[in-house]
Structure 1
Amino acid sequence: MSALPKTTSTAQHHRVIIIGTGFAGLGMAIKLKEQGENDFIVIEKESGVGGTWRVNHYPGCACDVQSHLYSYSFEPNPNWTRMFAPQPEIRGYLEGCAQKYGINPHIRFDTAVQAMHWDEQNCRWNITDHNGNAYTADVVVSGMGGLSTPAYPTIKGLDTFKGKMFHSQQWEHDYSLAGKKVAVIGTGASAIQFVPQIQGQVKELKLFQRTPPWILPKPDREITKAEQLLFKRLPGTQRAMRAAIYTMLESRVAAFAINPKLMAFAKRWALNHIRSEIKDPELRKKVTPDYTVGCKRILISNDYYRALSQQNVDVITTGIQEVTENGVITSDGKLHEVDTIIFGTGFKATDPVPANMIFGRGGKDIIESWDQGPQAYKGTTVAGYPNFYILMGPNTGLGHSSMVYMIESQIEYVLGALSIMDKRKIAALDVKEAIQNDYNNQIDAKTQGTVWNVGSCNSWYIHPVSGKNTTLWPGYTWKFRQQTKNFDLKAYRVTQRNTASTVSAETAFESALASSANA
C-alpha cells in the first residue's frame, strides 16, 4: 500500500497522459489528435521517438513480421526497402509519423514516470516523474512495451568480470569486437540476429546455449524501386499486399492455438533448414530442439546456422557454473577465457511494470494485484485501477502476426471509453473484478490446448508463479478486434462527474436510455 502523495498547485493537468512513444503510445496520440483532442501529453523516458525500435539497435536488428503489416493501417509506407524492415527504417517510420501528425509538441522527452497514484476523491491520477515534476490526468494510457526492460541471468561472479559486458539492448557501438574473444549468453531472437553480424569480426565466439530455438528460413528480399513506385501511385496494391500477408499469417493460428499436431509440417521445414545449412552432425544435434515447434517463439534467419558453422564459433550446451574475472566456467569445470560477454537473454516480458510505480484504489500497488501474473480485461483495463488503460497488456501478445494490429484494436477500445465518458459525464470507469476474472478464466481455458502450453518447453510466455500463459492471445486477431470494437459500459463501475457516488454501469446505462427516451 502507498499513501497518496499531495500534489502541488503547480502540477500540470491534462485530460490524457500517455506513457511511451513506440507504436502503442504514438498511435494513441495520433488518434486522439485526429479526434480533436489536444489536451494530452506523452511522457517518454528516452530522448526520441521509437520505443523498442529506438532502444534496440544491435547489429542486424530487424523485424520478424513483414513491413507492410508491421505498420499503421492508416499510414502505409510505400518506401520500405525490404520485406522485413531493419531497425533504422522502423525507427525512421515512427519519427516520420510523429512529425506528420504533429505529435512532437505533446511529447516530454527524457522524462520517466516515477510513480502514479489514483486520487479517489478527485477521480484523477497524480503522477510524478523522475525529475520531481508533478502532473494530474483524468485518464492514463500506458504504451510501455513488454520488450523494453532487459533481462539478465542470475550467474555467480558476474560482478567480478574484468572485461567488457553488455546486454544486446544496450549495445556498445564504440567498443570494437575485432580480434576479441567473445561470449554470447542466450540464443533468442536478438542473438540470432547479431551473432551472424559479429562472427566475422571476432577472434573467437563462444555461444552459450541453454535451449536451442526452432528457426525457419527468412523469406526476406529487397523491395524493388518499381514496386515502391507502384505502391506510391496505386496505394490499393499495397493494401492488397497487406491483406494477403495478414491472411497468410492468420492461417497459422490453426497450428498454434487449435491443433498443435499441425506443427509437424513446420518441424519438417525447420529440420530441412538445419540439414541444408549445417554439415557437422554434432553441431546439428546441438541446435535441434526437443520440444514442439511454436512452444517457444519461432525465429527466422538465413545466416544464423551458417555463422555457427564457422571455425571460430563454438556452441556450448554445458550449463554455466560461474563467471570469473577473465571468463566463464561451465558446470564441467572448464574455463572459457573471454574478453567480452554479450547477453542475448531477452526481456522481462511477464513482468511489464516495475514495483512501486502504479497505485490504484486504496493505494494498492498493481504488482500486488498481479501476484499470480498480470491480468486485465480484454488486455486493456485492470480492476481497481480506474481510467487506466494498458496497450499491449496481458494476453495481447502474438506468436503468429503483427502486434500493430492488436494495438490499433486496443486504441479503438480506449477511444470508445473516452467518448462515452464525455457523452454521459462520467468521471471514472473501473472494470468489475468479477467480469475481469471471468474473462481471464476464459482466456486461461483457451490457452490450455495451445502449443505454448502443451509443447513441452519452458518459455517466457508462461508466468513463473501461476504457470499460466499471461502473455499471448490464444486465437485469431480478428476475434480480438471484434471484442474491442465497441466499449462495453456494462462491464464497468461508473463514477458520475460532480458526484462522489459510484454507480453500476447497468444503472448508468438504464438512466441514460431513460433520459434519451424522455428527450
Structure 2
Amino acid sequence: MNNQHIYDSIIIGAGFGGLGQGAQFVQDGIDNFLILEKEDTLGGVWRDNNYPGAACDTQAVIYCYSYHLHLDVSRMYAGRDELLRYLTSLADKFGLHQHLRTNSLVTETTWDEDSKLWEITTATGEIYLSRSWVPAWGQLGIPNIPDLPGLEAFEGETFHSVEWRHDLELRGKKVASIGAAATAVQYVPEVAKVASQLSVFQRSANYIMPRSQQIFSDEQITEFQQNPDTYRKVRKAIHQEREAGFERTRKQTDAAAEGMRLAREHMESVITDPKLREQFTPDYDFGCKRILRSDDFYPTFNHENVSLVTEGIQRVTPKGIVTADGVEHEVDIIIFGTGFKSHAFQGDMQVIGREGRDLSDRWGNAPEAFLGMCVDGYPNMFIIYGPNTNLNHHSIVAMIEAQNRYVSQAVALLKEDAELVLDVTPDTLNEFNAHVQEELDNSAFSADCSSWYKNADGKVINNWSGTVKEYHDLTRALDLVDYGIAAPVKV
C-alpha cells in the first residue's frame, strides 16, 4: 500500500455529476484525481437513454454549468444527442479525458482507519487508493422492471426503455408500453408512428404541462456564441421563472391550483373524448409526482392505432397482457417505461465505512445525507446528487454545481493536511435531516400518491425541500464545525 499512488480524490461515474466534479477540480487547481466509469465512454444517463424521442424536460439554457454554457444549443428542450455532445465538450475543455478510466466498474470501496485512505476496487481487480472519493452514481441508473406473473412465458420481445432494442422492428407490430410517465411521454409518440397498434398501460394519470418547444435560429445561435451575455440573459429569466415555480410544489397553494389549471387546460385543448379526459385527470395534489412537459403525448391518443389502458395488469400470457377486467390485450412487444430503482443509490456496490459498516445497512430503506452529500461513519466521502437533492421545479445541474464547489473545498483541505478527516457528526446529519423532513411535510411531494420520491414508509428521500437558492446558500462554504472540528486546520 505504501508504494501505491495515492489520489486526492476518485470520482465514480462520468455523467453530469462526475464530469462536473472533475471540471471543478481542474478550475480549483486539483489535478491528482481519477474518474472511474463502468461503461466504455462518458455520458451517464444521456449515454444510456437512447430511446426514440429522448430529450431533457428542463430548458437547455439552465441545464448546463454556469462556467461552460451550452452556447451551440439548437432548441430550448435539447435532445439526447445534443446533451451528449455538451458533456463531451465539457470533458474536452477541462482536459478530463486524461483523468478518465472507462470500463472500470467499482464493486467495493473500503475505508482504512490507519492510513486514512479509501481503497477502491473494480470488477477487473484494480485497486486504487484515495484520500477521498466522490460517488456520482446518480438516482436514475438502475432500471426497474415489475415482477409480473407470467412474464417469463411471454413469447414476444420485452425490454426496458433504458435498454432500447434498436435491432427490433416495431413497424407493423402490436406494442405495449407499460408506463405512461416521464420517459413514456417521449417515446410513445415516436412508437405510435410505426406500430400497427400501441397500447399504453397507465397506472395513474400525470400532470403534463405544455412544452412549447422553441427552435433557435442560426442567427440566435451565432449571437449566443459571439455575445454570451445574450444567452445569460435568457438563462437568468428562465432561472427566475423556475425558482418562482417552487411555490407550485407546496400543498394547497394558489400557485399549485394554477398549475393544475394549466395542466388541465393543456389536456382538454387536445383530448375531446370525455372518457379519455377522465382517465388523464390526476386524483392527487399537483407536484406529488413529477410534473411532465410534452406537446405531442396527448395528440397521439387521437390516432386510431393508439389506446390507453387504465385497468391494472393482472398477468402476462404467452400472447399478451390480461388486465383486471379480464380482457387480454394481444401484443408482440412489451416496452417497460417503468422508471428506475431510485432508492438504491449505491446499487450493488459495497461501501464499507468505519467499523466495517456497510452503507446499505446504515441506510436501510431510508437513505439520508448531510446536504445530500455526507454520511456519518463514511469519512471523506461526498455524494453528488444524493438523498434529498432531486428537484421538481428546476434544473438538477444547478444543484450539482453547488455540490461540486462544496466538494472541491473539502478536497482542497484534505490535500493540505494528511491527518485531516472529514466525517460529518451524527448530530449535524440528524439536525439537517429533521429540518428537511419538516419542510417536506408542507410539500406536495409528501401528499397522498405513490411516487418514486418516497420509500415504502412514505418518507420523501429523493427530493430537496426548498429552492435552488436556499441550497446554494447552505453549501456555499464548508463549515468544519459540521465535522466536529472546532480548531483551524493547517492550510
* 1:73-84 equivalence runs, <5 A: 73-84=66-77
Aligned-partner Cα distance in 1 for 2:244–2:419: 41
Q: Secondary structure at the match of 1:262?
A: helix
* 1:32 partner letter: F
Match of 2:220 in 1: 227
Aligned-partner Cα distance in 1 for 2:180–2:369: 31
456, 464, 473: which one aligns with 1:464? 456
Q: Would the aligned equivalents of 1:462 and 1:468 in 2 still touch at CA under 8 Å? A: yes
Aligned-partner Cα distance in 2 for 1:239–1:305: 33
The 3 A distance-change label for structure 1 pair 313 and 13 is same
65, 75, 81: which one aligns with 2:58? 65
Deviation at 1:262, TM superposition (A): 2.5
Deviation at 1:11, TM superposition (A): 5.7
Deviation at 1:424, TM superposition (A): 4.6
Q: Deviations over 1:41-78 (max 9, x none)?
A: 10001111110111011100111111110011001122
Match of 2:410 in 1: 417
Match of 1:274 in 2: 267
Moved over 6 A (4+): none
175, 183, 187: which one aligns with 1:182? 175
Q: Secondary structure at the match of 1:172?
A: coil
Aligned-partner Cα distance in 2 for 1:73–1:222: 22
Match of 1:54 in 2: 47
Q: Secondary structure at the match of 1:74?
A: coil
Match of 2:362 in 1: 369
Aligned-partner Cα distance in 1 for 2:388–2:364: 16
* 1:378 partner letter: L
Match of 2:253 in 1: 260
Aligned-partner Cα distance in 1 for 2:244–2:80: 27
Aligned-partner Cα distance in 2 for 1:221–1:27: 27
281, 285, 290: which one aligns with 1:292? 285
TM-score by length of 1: 0.92
Aligned-partner Cα distance in 2 for 1:121–1:325: 58
List gaps (5 residues or longer) in structure 1.
1-7, 494-504
472, 480, 484: which one aligns with 2:471? 480
* 1:471 partner letter: N
Aligned-partner Cα distance in 2 for 1:257–1:416: 33
Aligned-partner Cα distance in 1 for 2:133–2:203: 39
Q: Would the aligned equivalents of 1:355 and 1:365 in 2 still touch at CA under 8 Å? A: no
Q: Deviations over 1:336-384 (max 9, x none)?
A: 1111000000111122112551111111111111124110001111100
Q: Secondary structure at the match of 1:251?
A: helix
Aligned-partner Cα distance in 1 for 2:430–2:39: 35
* 1:351-500 equivalence runs, <5 A: 351-355=344-348, 357-454=350-447, 456-465=448-457, 467-493=458-484
Quick check: 1:169 aligned with 2:151?
no
Deviation at 1:10, TM superposition (A): 8.1
Q: Deviations over 1:95-127 (max 9, x none)?
A: 111112111111111111111111111111111
Quick check: 1:301 aligned with 2:301?
no
Quick check: 1:92 aligned with 2:85?
yes
* 1:319 partner letter: G
Quick check: 1:322 aligned with 2:320?
no
Aligned-partner Cα distance in 2 for 1:489–1:187: 46
Match of 1:4 in 2: none
Q: Deviations over 1:394-426 (max 9, x none)?
A: 111100001111001011111111222344554
Deviation at 1:259, TM superposition (A): 5.5
Q: Would the aligned equivalents of 1:327 and 1:339 in 2 still touch at CA under 8 Å? A: yes
Q: Secondary structure at the match of 2:422?
A: strand
Match of 1:25 in 2: 18
Aligned-partner Cα distance in 1 for 2:288–2:211: 19
* 1:178 partner letter: R
* 2:449 partner letter: C
- Which region of structure 1 is more displaced relative to structure 2, 344-353 or 57-66? 344-353
Aligned-partner Cα distance in 2 for 1:287–1:213: 7
* 1:470 partner letter: I
* 1:458 partner letter: S
Deviation at 1:233, TM superposition (A): 1.6
Q: Would the aligned equivalents of 2:9 and 2:411 in 1 still touch at CA under 8 Å? A: no
Q: Secondary structure at the match of 1:321?
A: strand
Aligned-partner Cα distance in 1 for 2:87–2:185: 25
- Which region of structure 1 is more displaced relative to structure 2, 19-28 or 257-266? 257-266
* 1:329 partner letter: V
Identity value in percent: 38
36, 58, 66: which one aligns with 2:29? 36
Match of 1:501 in 2: none
Q: Secondary structure at the match of 2:382?
A: strand
Q: Deviations over 1:211-234 (max 9, x none)?
A: 011111102110111111111121
Compare CA radii of gyration and give the structure with the larger one: 1
- Which region of structure 1 is more displaced relative to structure 2, 286-295 or 482-491? 286-295
233, 244, 258: which one aligns with 1:251? 244
TM-score by length of 2: 0.97
Aligned-partner Cα distance in 2 for 1:447–1:292: 14
Match of 1:117 in 2: 110
Aligned-partner Cα distance in 2 for 1:342–1:397: 26
Q: Secondary structure at the match of 2:420?
A: strand
Q: Would the aligned equivalents of 2:425 and 2:482 in 1 still touch at CA under 8 Å? A: yes
Q: Would the aligned equivalents of 1:356 and 1:365 in 2 still touch at CA under 8 Å? A: no
Q: Would the aligned equivalents of 1:47 and 1:110 in 2 still touch at CA under 8 Å? A: yes
The 3 A distance-change label for structure 1 pair 435 and 9 is closer
Q: Secondary structure at the match of 2:10?
A: strand
The root-mean-square deviation of aligned C-alpha atoms, in Å, is 1.6
Aligned-partner Cα distance in 1 for 2:327–2:24: 57
Q: Deviations over 1:148-197 (max 9, x none)?
A: 11111121121221211000001011211001010110111000000001
Quick check: 1:131 aligned with 2:106?
no
* 2:145 partner letter: Y
Q: Secondary structure at the match of 1:236?
A: helix
Deviation at 1:427, TM superposition (A): 3.3
Match of 1:342 in 2: 335
The 3 A distance-change label for structure 1 pair 284 and 206 is same
Aligned-partner Cα distance in 2 for 1:261–1:371: 37
Q: Deviations over 1:265-290 (max 9, x none)?
A: 11111111111111211111111111
135, 139, 143: which one aligns with 1:142? 135
Aligned-partner Cα distance in 1 for 2:3–2:141: 31
